[in-house]
Chains A and B, each alone.
Chain A
Amino acid sequence: TQLLEQSPQFLSIQEGENLTVYCNSSSVFSSLQWYRQEPGEGPVLLVTVVTGGEVKKLKRLTFQFGDARKDSSLHITAAQTGDTGLYLCADQAGTALIFGKGTTLSVSS
């Protein structure tokens, strides 16, 4: 059974700081996805990456996929209070969607 480990579990920072969160898989990803879940809501897809070594940018968010396709990082530049939430990595392979336990990010002003 594939296991996705995310670190850190919790992160509390001030507005304007930079941060990086990590996701490591016990096996090669089929299709790595990052979701953000805000309090009281369901997860919402941020990005899908498939190719090893791929880097995707979404405004202040930068997603990196390891060459071996077993690890990923999410970097946020100049965090804002609106970035607060639970960041989940997942492996999506057709009928299977397996999640890590997530990183809870709190950004205060």
Chain B
Amino acid sequence: EAQVTQNPRYLITVTGKKLTVTCSQNMNHEYMSWYRQDPGLGLRQIYYSMNVEVTDKGDVPEGYKVSRKEKRNFPLILESPSPNQTSLYFCASWEIMSSTEAFFGQGTRLTVV
């Protein structure tokens, strides 16, 4: 079954405590991306990766890091989380061609207190 798996689904943490949200896909997609979803702001892209060792900033990259050491994995790292990073996060992957379907993980609801 085609799948994008994120962990954890829910996370409550304190300001400044480093955390990692994992993302893995089983479809051999080259392209992976992280989004955050906030009320009234919709889905906004944080970072994306076109292939192993190739990553780039999206629209809202401040406070986040990513890495792409293997094709299937694309973790999102918050080195020093702050309350304004409280959000719903989604990982997605798709083939790099037009009109292709994007597959999303189930989301990670992060609360930073």
Contact = CB atoms under 8 A, between A and B. Distances in A.
A92 B102 CA distance: 9
Interface residues of B, number: 24
A31 B104 contact: no
Interface residues of A, number: 22
Interface in B79-101: 90, 92, 94, 96-101
Nearest to B100: A92
A64 to B, nearest CB: 17
B106 interface: yes
Contacts of B48: 95
A68 interface: no
Contact of B40 (A44, A99, A101): A101
6 contacts: A30-B98, A42-B4, A48-B99, A88-B42, A97-B45, A101-B42
